[in-house]
Amino acid sequence: MVGVTAAAAVSCAPWVGRGNKQQADAAATAAMRRLLADLPIAGRVVIGEGEMDEAPMLYIGEEVGNGAGPECDVAVDPLEGTNPLAFGGRNALCVMALGDKGSFLHAPDMYMDKLAVGPQARGVVDLRYPLTENIALVAKALGKPISKVVVAVLDRPRHADLVAKTRTVGATVKLFSDGDIVTALSTCIEDKGVDLLVGRGGSPEGVLAAAGLSCLGGEMQARLVPQTPEEIRRCQEMGVDLDRILRMGDLIGSGEVVFAATGVTDGDLLRGVQYSDAGLVTHSVAMVRSTASMHYIQSVLRDRPLHAEEPIE
């Protein structure tokens, strides 16, 4: 899996700072699709990136793998953070997760409301509660005053009310421009300075974040928020209950989960692709739910890979 995400990262890295997020996304998707074909699984993409912003996609229902291994659900985001990559920002990465067949949420690429916390606050918060109450519950679980609780919120106009409510009770707001997968995972890593993530973002990122959180002992809760009659129709066709609060068992099931990501640009969790005299250097993370483990992996590609083509001007 790390080989798959690393290939995608290397493929889109030449586009960093060039202002063309569509071409970068296409490069990452093509590389991920090519490498997935050789993965020893009988996989099916159940939720993926692409439809919301008309980007190239590994489409929902696509079969991946060489069929030689276990049947499994696949969640992908070939390039999480297209805007940071296009403009040389932080936290662009290539991500995927595998789970037991039938375990991952099967839903369209659409918005969802999200709430994520680390292990100490798992089981004490609820997406149905007011944000101010959840902040107080997190403070109690972490044994710190509300003034020391850090709430991460995606910096979008739609979140102005969440920001105002957080500041009203005296908690700290950490606004971030992109990359809610990394920020959700940061709730589980002590030195990253995030206690709670709230806000509305894409459903593929929500499932992928839940996969990583499950490996680290954290928790994600979500609720799908359709924006159009077509999205409502598609949810009904997929059997998704739009009134239901989606918990970890709904998002990623209770079986085995494996998560992998490779950085494209430097970020809070991973360093980006680096060019050195020794070759291309990639920085990845792999997480396994059954062993509650997180592994950092650095790879050096000494020969120029065929998929690391320079952008065509």
Number of domain units in the chain:
2
Please tell me whether residues 73 and 172 are part of one structural domain.
Answer: no
Please tell me whether residues 243 and 115 are part of one structural domain.
Answer: yes
Residue 191 belongs to a domain with what CATH number? 3.40.190.90
* Interval 4-54: pLDDT, tens: 999 999 999 999 999 999 999 999 999 999 999 999 999 999 987 655 444
Q: Return the residue matching tokens 């999200």.
A: 114
Structural tokens at position 199? 């806000």
* Interval 127-165: pLDDT, tens: 999 999 999 999 999 999 999 999 999 999 999 999 999
Q: Which residues pair with 172 in a beta bridge?
A: 150
- Global confidence as pTM: 0.92
Residue 79 belongs to a domain with what CATH number? 3.30.540.10
Query: What mean pLDDT is predicted for residues 215-243?
Result: 91
Q: DSSP assignment of 2-18, as one string? A: HHHHHHHHHHHGGGTTS
φ and ψ of 38, to 5 deg: -100, -5
Q: Work out the pLDDT band at 307, boundaries 50, 70, 90.
A: very low
| pLDDT for res 123 | 96
Q: Which residues pair with 285 in a beta bridge?
A: 261, 296
User: Has residue 313 been placed in a domain?
Assistant: no
Distance CA(26)–CA(200), nearest Å, equals: 25
Distance CA(48)–CA(17), nearest Å, equals: 25
Residue ranges making up the domain that contains 23: 2-101+257-301
